[in-house]
Amino acid sequence: MRKWISFPQKQGTASRQAHADFPEEAIYEREAGRSGFFGPATHFHHQHAPTGWSEWQGPLRPRAFDFNALKELAPESPWAVPSLLHNASCKFRLWDVKQPMKKLARNADGDDLLFVHDGAGELFCDYGHMTLRDGDYVVIPRSTNWRIEPTQDMRLLMIEATNDSYQLPEKGLVGNHAIFDPAVLDVPQIDDAFKAQYSEDEWQVEVKKHGAVSLVTFPYNPLDALGWHGDLAPVRVNWRDIRPLMSHRYHLPPSAHTTFVAARFVVCTFVPRPIESDPGALKVPFYHNNDDYDEVLFYHAGDFFSRDNIDRGMVTFHPAGFTHGPHPKAFQAGREHKKKFTDEVAVMLDTRDSLEVGEAADAVENPDYVYSWQEKE
The pLDDT tens digits for 204-252 are 999 999 999 999 999 999 999 999 999 999 999 999 999 999 999 999 9
What is the CATH number assigned to the segment(s) 81-167+177-239? 2.60.120.10
- Residue 335 has a pLDDT of 83
Contacts of 78 (CB under 8 A, 6+ apart): 93, 95, 105, 156, 158
- Residue 377 has a pLDDT of 52
- Does 248 qualify as catalytic in the annotation? no
> Could you please report the per-residue DSSP string of 29-91?
EEEEESTTTTS-EEEEEESS-TT--S---SS---EEEEGGG------SSGGGSPPSEE-SSEE
Strand partners, 152: 120
Please indicate, yes or no, whether the overall pTM of this predicted structure exceeds 0.75: yes
Which of 85-89, 114-118, 278-282 is least confident? Answer: 278-282
* Cα torsion 4, 249, 283, 48: sign: negative
164 is in an annotated binding site: no
- Residue 376 has a pLDDT of 67
Q: Where in the chain is the domain with CATH 2.60.120.10?
A: 28-65+243-364, 81-167+177-239
CA separation, residue 11 to residues 15, 42, 44, 45 (Å): 11, 11, 10, 10
Q: What percent of the chain has pLDDT over 90?
A: 74
Q: Average pLDDT, stretch 151-157? A: 97
- Residue 124 has a pLDDT of 98
What is the CATH number assigned to the segment(s) 28-65+243-364? 2.60.120.10
324 is in an annotated binding site: yes
Which of 78-82, 157-161, 339-343 is least confident? Answer: 339-343
Which residue in 19, 43, 129, 251 is the catalytic one?
251
288 is in an annotated binding site: yes
